[in-house]
Amino acid sequence: MFPENLRLSGDLSAATRSADYLVLVVPTHVMREVCRRIAPDVRPEQIVINASKGIENDTLKRMSEVIGENLPLDNRHIATLYGPSHAEEVSQEIPTAVVAASSDLSTARRVRDLFLTDYFRVYSSQDIIGVEYGGSLKNVVAIAAGICDGAGFGDNTKARCSPVPWRKFHAWA
């Protein structure tokens, strides 16, 4: 199922040097270390695509910020590719939509074109900050919605726009 022009390698340094695009999909707590390891082999013209959702624990930085601090390239060459999506559904060619975001719209469009298929729709955006925060925080909102469901609250509670008096509920006191 891999494209014929995709080359696999166990040599991180060689793979980094030979690629036009680097796709980083690692746990957020090791992103900084992975970037430091590949930094000597990254070329300034390469495009680095982050697909790791989350915020760095110690610094509270977005992944594109961590990448930008640790790789020798201009931030215009950093992009983020975020869902919501499930890899197993993509592998089954179930229609999916995601966003390729970069501070540079031409980079976002290049990433869009790289991943776009008949069943994998990629939109492009310059709002890399919004895309990364949205992708990183959506699970927090989902957990809160699940708590509301578990507590027997309805949709009105989940959708409430004004502050909720949480102190009345022992679970959140």
Active site (catalytic) residues: 138
Q: Tokens 């507590």 label which residue?
A: 151
Tokens coding 77: 């060459």
Q: Indicate the DSSP class of residue 164.
A: P
Distant-in-sequence, close-in-space partners of 173: CB < 8 Å, separation ≥ 6: 166, 167
CB 126, CB 112: distance < 8 Å: no
* DSSP character at residue 153: -
- Amino acid type, 161: C
Q: Which two tokens stand for residue 25?
A: 């999909």
Query: Nearest to residue 28, comparing CAs of 58, 60, 54?
Result: 54
Interior/surface letters 51-80, b for 16+ CB within 10 angstroms, e for the rest: bbbbbeeeeebbbbbbbbebbebeeebbbb
